[in-house]
Amino acid sequence: MTIRAALKHAEFRLSEAKISSSQLDSELIMAYVMGRDRAWLLAHDDTELDEPQLEQFHALVNQRYNRTPLVHLTGTREFYDLDFEITPDVLTPRVETEQMVEWAIKYAPQGSRLIDIGTGSGALAVAVAKHRPDLQVTATDISAKELAVARRNATKHAVMVEFVESDLWAGVNGQFETIVTNLPYLRDDARNELMPEVRHEPAIALFGGSDGLDLYRRFLRNLPQHLVPGGYLFTECDPWQHEDLLAEAAKVGLTPVEQGYFILGFQLRA
């Protein structure tokens, strides 16, 4: 069977599962199997697949049909123009989160310290460190498995990041000029509303209590001890939670400086 024929069959099968990105997913799976990029596939779609390649492709398409996230099949995800290793132990970085990287790069003072609380795959910390090598970057996570993935991603992109195993601020010492965090913010009762793919994500990285902001409240309680006056905080939550998070932030002396669809930026009053 040729690449063209296999892709056509896969696209039809994934469409049956109501996967809106059936064509793109089929091509990305094929690119992974062939060890090539999508441009190569389109230029060589008359190439005949050998039996092992065809078996692997069909097996992965079947898993995607059953709504296994594509990233868990290929093991990689692009974030802020960098390729990151992603495993089932870490949250898949979302394109919306790239705005947090953009603002951290923009606001962090030259040669200053930045910390990423709850780093997961390390995407935030590594992307910032890659584009701002002048910064001293630290990243924390409560999970040793997640930190292992983050360390591999830092090594992959040849950046210097200090990793600390910590429950929020528990293992963190010192102060920082910039803090970034994408803590779990889904309501606990939202489990049944999630798309099938999202249910494959680690629960520890998704849920944040009855209104989704429990971890943010704990985080903000001790934040003034670790953010220098005049320093910046960048966070992520659902748009409908912004009003509540803005109110919680105001209690500890934070004033808004940026507001995106998911991302909020604050500065600590001097």
pLDDT in tens, 152-171: 999 999 999 999 999 999 99
Q: Do 236 and 156 belong together in one domain?
A: yes
Residue 237 has pLDDT above 80, yes or no: yes
Record the pTM: 0.87
Ranking 90-99, 199-208, 232-241 by mean pLDDT, the lowest is 199-208
Three-state helix/strand/coil letters over the chain: CEHHHHHHHHHHHHHHCCCCCHHHHHHHHHHHHHCCCHHHHHHCCCCECCHHHHHHHHHHHHHHHCCCCHHHHHCEEEECCEEEECCCCCCCCCHHHHHHHHHHHHHCCCCCEEEEECCCCCHHHHHHHHHCCCCEEEEEECCHHHHHHHHHHHHHCCCCEEEEECCCCCCCCCCEEEEEECCCCECHHHHHHCCCCHHHCCHHHCECCCCCCHHHHHHHHHHHHCEEEEEEEEEECCHHHHHHHHHHHHHCCEEEEEECCCEEEEEECC
- Number of folded domains that form the chain: 2
Residue 71 counted as domain residue:
no
For the segment 76-98, the average pLDDT, to the nearest whole number, is: 92
Q: What is the CATH number of the domain that holds 62?
A: 1.10.8.10
Q: Which amino acid is at 193?
A: E
Residues 50, 118 within the same domain: no
Structural domain that includes position 159? 76-268
pLDDT of residue 211: 77
Work out the average pLDDT over 106-116.
98
State mean pLDDT over 184-198. 64
